[in-house]
Amino acid sequence: MENKVIVVASRNAGKIREFREMLEPKGYTVKSLEDFPDMPEIEENGTTFAENAVVKAKAVTDLYGIDAISDDSGLEIDAFDRMPGIQSARWLGHDTSYTYKNQVILDRMKGNENRTCRYVCAIAVTSTRHKPVVFEDTVECTIAYEPKGENGFGYDPIMYYPPYEKTMAEMTKDEKNGISHRGKAVRKLEEWLNHENA
What is the residue type of 101? K
Of 51, 43, 111, residue with least CA distance to 85: 51
145-198 pLDDT, tens per residue? 999 999 989 999 999 999 999 999 999 999 999 999 999 999 999 899 888 766
**Binning pLDDT at 50, 70 and 90, where does residue 70 land?**
very high
C-alpha 198/C-alpha 184 separation (Å) is: 21
C-alpha 115/C-alpha 160 separation (Å) is: 10
Active-site residue flag, 38: no
Select the more confidently predicted residue: 196 or 51. 51
- What is the sign, positive or negative, of the torsion defined by CA atoms of 135, 55, 41, 62? positive
Q: Which of 71, 72, 137, 156 is catalytic?
A: 72
Angle between helices 13-23 and 181-197 (to 10 degrees): 50
Of 60, 36, 28, residue with least CA distance to 124: 60
The boundaries of the domain holding residue 182 are 2-197
CA distances from 88 to 1, 27, 31, 52 (A): 30, 31, 24, 12
Number of domains composing the chain? 1
Q: CATH number of the domain that 76 lies in? A: 3.90.950.10
C-alpha 114/C-alpha 104 separation (Å) is: 16
pLDDT of residue 23: 84
